[in-house]
């Protein structure tokens, strides 16, 4: 059985792209592996959230993941800052992380370009904290998207370096859990690129039906096919891609055929698409509401998850201290 660790950003609501691209894979993994899923709320501090927002954001993201079906009975679900052992391992790993390699990290370079007013040391050492998150549970698999591959490469390097420096075979080097071809990239509704939080082109799991209808009806299309068998344009293809994950195959075929024969009415396609999206999101949206209203449940989930995570983390930190040479008197 593999040990899987994944950190979840505590900023922003989940959209359809997150759901079909990442969360659904978590649901599959949690059944077959020893999974640790946590809200990365130490990492969240790199962008200086206001204290009034921090807790609410954590709670919202947690509720959304649970509403999607992340099961605290199968996976260890916890809040990063409830496991302070990770900050000790982070400190220890920092001693063997070099400023040069951290400065060369793509995500760091991008951050300093975008936010030159907030180049804090936490941002620089972000990959070290992420490595600590992962190796503290001796994970061997980490589900990551493209944007996190370099961070995982650094995690492997930090684990290997620790083993080399102390001449031990202690930390495993975790592999990326890449869903490769299975990974569905959900496009946005603006005709270009993938669905994203900041792009304003997304449908959120927490969106009520009337908002979803509005968003889908105003999605970008084109003037319609001018000859039979014509390939759909990029924006129209995008709608078909979304349809392929939410609708019945017969519905997809119906509209594909209509497009092929130049009889398609995009208004009809959008109406159908909106209803099929709502069929997927509405039960989740209702569960998000129920879970958010049940603070006792949320408190129990994070307490029990935190205890399990701490048990695993404190064992590692104890052994690491011993390896480094901290000994009792």
Q: Which of residues 35-64 bind ligand TRP (CB under 6 A)?
A: 40, 43
130 in contact with ligand TRP (CB under 6 A): yes
Q: Which position among 194, 258, 271, 315 bears the catalytic label?
A: 194
Quick one: 44 or 292, whose CB is closer to ligand TRP?
Answer: 44
Angle between helices 266-293 and 209-217 (to 10 degrees): 150
**Region binding ligand TRP by CB under 6 A among candidate stretches 82-90, 130-138, 162-170, 182-190:** 130-138
Task: Pick the binder of ligand TRP from 83, 93, 124, 142 (CB under 6 A).
Answer: 142
9 in contact with ligand TRP (CB under 6 A): yes
Quick one: 134 or 216, whose CB is closer to ligand TRP?
Answer: 134
Residues binding ligand TRP: number (CB under 6 A) = 12
Quick one: 43 or 285, whose CB is closer to ligand TRP?
Answer: 43
Q: Which of residues 147-166 bind ligand TRP (CB under 6 A)?
A: 148, 151
Least separation in angstroms between CB 15 and ligand TRP:
14
313 in contact with ligand TRP (CB under 6 A): no
Quick one: 141 or 270, whose CB is closer to ligand TRP?
Answer: 141
Q: Which residue is nearest to ligand TRP (CB)?
A: 7
**Region binding ligand TRP by CB under 6 A among candidate stretches 5-13, 95-103, 198-206, 258-266:** 5-13
Quick one: 46 or 238, whose CB is closer to ligand TRP?
Answer: 46
Task: Please tell me the distance from the alpha carbon of residue 43 to that of residue 87, in angstroms, as a whole number.
Answer: 11
23 in contact with ligand TRP (CB under 6 A): no
Q: Is 185 known to be catalytic?
A: no
Q: Is 194 known to be catalytic?
A: yes
276 in contact with ligand TRP (CB under 6 A): no
Q: Environment class of residue 89 by beta-carbon count within 10 Å: exposed (0-12), middle (13-18) or buried (19+)? A: buried
How far from 304 is each of 54, 142, 177, 207, 322, CA to CA, in Å? 21, 22, 26, 30, 28
Q: Is 197 known to be catalytic?
A: yes
Least separation in angstroms between CB 40 and ligand TRP:
4
216 in contact with ligand TRP (CB under 6 A): no
34 in contact with ligand TRP (CB under 6 A): no
Binding footprint of ligand TRP on the chain (CB under 6 A):
5-7, 9, 40, 43, 130, 133-134, 142, 148, 151
- Catalytic residue numbers? 111, 194, 197
């Amino acid at each position: 059985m593999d040990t899987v660790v994944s950190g979840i950003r505590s900023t922003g609501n989940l959209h359809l792209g997150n759901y079909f691209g990442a969360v659904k894979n978590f649901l599959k993994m949690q059944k077959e592996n020893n999974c640790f899923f946590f809200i990365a709320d130490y990492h969240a501090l790199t962008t200086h959230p206001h204290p009034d927002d921090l807790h609410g954001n954590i709670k919202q993201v947690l509720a959304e993941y649970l509403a999607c079906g992340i099961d605290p009975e199968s996976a260890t679900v916890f809040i990063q800052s409830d496991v302070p052992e990770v900050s000790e391992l982070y400190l220890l790993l920092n001693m063997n992380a070099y400023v040069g390699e951290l400065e060369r990290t793509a995500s760091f370079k991008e951050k300093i370009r975008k936010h030159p007013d907030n180049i804090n040391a936490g941002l620089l050492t972000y990959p070290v904290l992420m490595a600590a998150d992962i190796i503290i549970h001796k994970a061997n698999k980490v589900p990551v998207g493209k944007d996190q591959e370099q961070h995982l490469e650094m995690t492997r390097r930090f684990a290997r370096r620790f083993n080399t420096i102390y001449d031990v075979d202690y930390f495993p080097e975790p592999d990326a859990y890449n869903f490769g071809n299975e990974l569905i990239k959900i496009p946005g509704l603006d005709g270009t690129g993938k669905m994203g939080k900041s792009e304003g082109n997304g449908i959120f799991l927490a969106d009520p039906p009337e908002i979803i209808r509005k968003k889908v009806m105003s999605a970008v299309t084109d003037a319609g096919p001018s000859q039979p068998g014509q390939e759909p344009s990029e924006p129209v293809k995008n709608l078909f891609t979304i349809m392929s994950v939410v609708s019945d195959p017969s519905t997809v075929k119906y509209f594909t055929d209509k497009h092929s024969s130049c009889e398609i009415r995009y208004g009809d396609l959008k109406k159908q698409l909106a209803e099929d999206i709502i069929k997927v999101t509405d039960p989740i949206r209702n569960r998000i509401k129920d879970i958010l209203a049940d603070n006792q449940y949320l408190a129990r989930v994070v307490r029990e998850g935190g205890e399990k995570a701490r048990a695993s983390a404190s064992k590692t930190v104890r052994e690491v201290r011993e390896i480094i040479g901290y000994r009792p008197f």
